[in-house]
Amino acid sequence: MLIVFNPAAGARRRRRLLAALDLLRGLGLRPEIAETLRRGHATDLARAAALDGVRTVVAAGGDGTIAEVAAGLAGSDSALGVLPLGTANVLALELGLPRAPDRAAEVLAMGRTALLHPGLARYADGRELLFVQMLGAGFDAAVVHALAPGLKRAIGKGAYVWQTMREMPRYPFAPVAVTLDGREDRAASVIVTKGRLYAGRFLLAPGADPRAEGFHVALFRDAGALAALRYAAALPLGLISHLSSVEIRRAERVRLAGEGVPIQADGDAVGHLPVDIAAAPRAMRIVVP
Ligand SMILES: Nc1ncnc2c1ncn2[C@@H]1O[C@H](COP(=O)(O)OP(=O)(O)OP(=O)(O)O)[C@@H](O)[C@H]1O
């Protein structure tokens, strides 16, 4: 087992990592630790471990770290493990993965796995990006793009609320052209999700499951600061999918295009539209309770 630790995830999570390590050792495991030095490093570390035949590579961080480790393991037989040390930890909440180091260590030691079906986004220049939970284009991505990492470390999820209020009056709401399995549509913002949850425990797409194939696509029809405020208020109340200006569709293939529209994937800023989204060529195994 290799644990890939992102020291920049969450806030001061090294103690939780060390606690989990002690517990894993107590359960008879001898995990190695590799610390990431920069963005994207977790992918290189995971890929090298998979080539070496390491059976389980654990992402110790948040959703961004999980996605990077998953990208490195793609196509291999190594399983993905998770020690949730991030800010939002949406995938961990989605799959019921415990945050407490003792319980997380127990889950990793048991080694029970489920299938995970990541999404793969392809940019116009042919680059590919794997995501495990969701990809957003439009307003939520603008918030992620503008978020200062220091603020996130200092005040955690509150940083998203603060940045959302700042972006509302200034985001230009360029329209997003959406193609769902060949059918054309339009929206002000779009979230292509594998899971039910968004930004923590908030319900976005009832019925979605990262262990199933395909995507749920939330189309936010209304543009403008007031609409963004309405969506932001409905989210913590679990009411997003009930709003008349939000439609949730299922699709296997999604194309998103829009002039200068930012994208976020698994909570990280990852460039701009256009992208073509489909299932990753192979499902992978993830360690679950
Ligand atoms: N050594 C490093 N220094 C700075 N950034 C890093 C380093 N290693 C990884 N990163 C980057 O840190 C970013 C944040 O990581 P991650 O998403 O795991 O944590 P988080 O944002 O706190 O959690 P969540 O996504 O669950 O809210 C990722 O984009 C990752 O590429």
The answer to whether residue 155 scores a pLDDT higher than 90 is no
Which residue out of 12, 38, 65 has the highest number of ligand 1 atoms within 8 Å of its CB and is therefore the one to mutate? Answer: 65
Q: What is the average per-residue pLDDT within 163-174?
A: 96
Residue 289 counted as domain residue: no
Q: Does residue 127 share a domain with residue 264?
A: yes
Q: How far is the CA of 184 from the centre of ligand 1 (A)?
A: 34
Is the full-model pTM beyond 0.80? yes
| Alpha-carbon dihedral sign for residues 136, 140, 143, 144 | negative
In this predicted complex, what is the ipTM? 0.96
Q: What is the average per-residue pLDDT within 88-97?
A: 94
What is the number of the ligand 1 atom nearest to the C-alpha of 68? 31
Q: Does residue 125 share a domain with residue 35?
A: no
Orientation angle between helical segments 139-146 and 158-167, nearest 10 degrees: 110
With residue 100 as reference, give the H or E element that holds it.
none
- Residue 157: pLDDT band with limits 50, 70, 90: confident
The answer to whether residue 150 scores a pLDDT higher than 90 is no
| CATH code at position 146 | 2.60.200.40
* Spatial distance between the Cα atoms of 142 and 228, rounded to a whole number of angstroms: 12
Name residues contacting ligand 1 (CB within 6 A). 6-10, 36-39, 41, 61-65, 68, 86-89, 267-268
Q: Does residue 106 share a domain with residue 60?
A: yes
Residue 85 counted as domain residue: yes
* Spatial distance between the Cα atoms of 105 and 70, rounded to a whole number of angstroms: 19
* Spatial distance between the Cα atoms of 52 and 46, rounded to a whole number of angstroms: 10
Residue 151 has what pLDDT? 87
The residue nearest atom 10 of ligand 1, judged by CA position, is 39
| Alpha-carbon dihedral sign for residues 25, 29, 34, 36 | negative
Q: What is the average per-residue pLDDT within 43-68?
A: 97
Q: How far is the CA of 247 from the centre of ligand 1 (A)?
A: 31
Q: What's the start-to-end Cα distance of the chain, in Å?
A: 17
Q: How far is the CA of 145 from the centre of ligand 1 (A)?
A: 13
Read off the pLDDT of residues 219-242 as tens digits, 9 standing for 90 and up: 999 999 999 999 999 999 999 999
- Residue 166: pLDDT band with limits 50, 70, 90: very high
Q: What is the share, in percent, of the chain residues with pLDDT greater than 90? A: 90
* Spatial distance between the Cα atoms of 275 and 272, rounded to a whole number of angstroms: 8
In order of 47, 207, 258, 260, 261, the CA distances from 196 in angstroms are: 29, 7, 25, 28, 24
Q: Does residue 149 share a domain with residue 99?
A: no
Q: Does residue 209 share a domain with residue 90?
A: no
Q: Does residue 87 share a domain with residue 9?
A: yes
Cis amide bond preceding 274, omega within 30: yes
32-35 and 2-5 strand pairing: parallel
Residue 287 counted as domain residue: no
Domain containing 80 equals 2-111
Q: What is the average per-residue pLDDT within 196-222?
A: 95
Question: For the chain, what is the domain count?
Answer: 2
Residue 285 counted as domain residue: no
| CATH code at position 104 | 3.40.50.10330
Q: Does residue 101 share a domain with residue 6?
A: yes
Which residue out of 39, 58, 89, 157 has the highest number of ligand 1 atoms within 8 Å of its CB and is therefore the one to mutate? Answer: 39
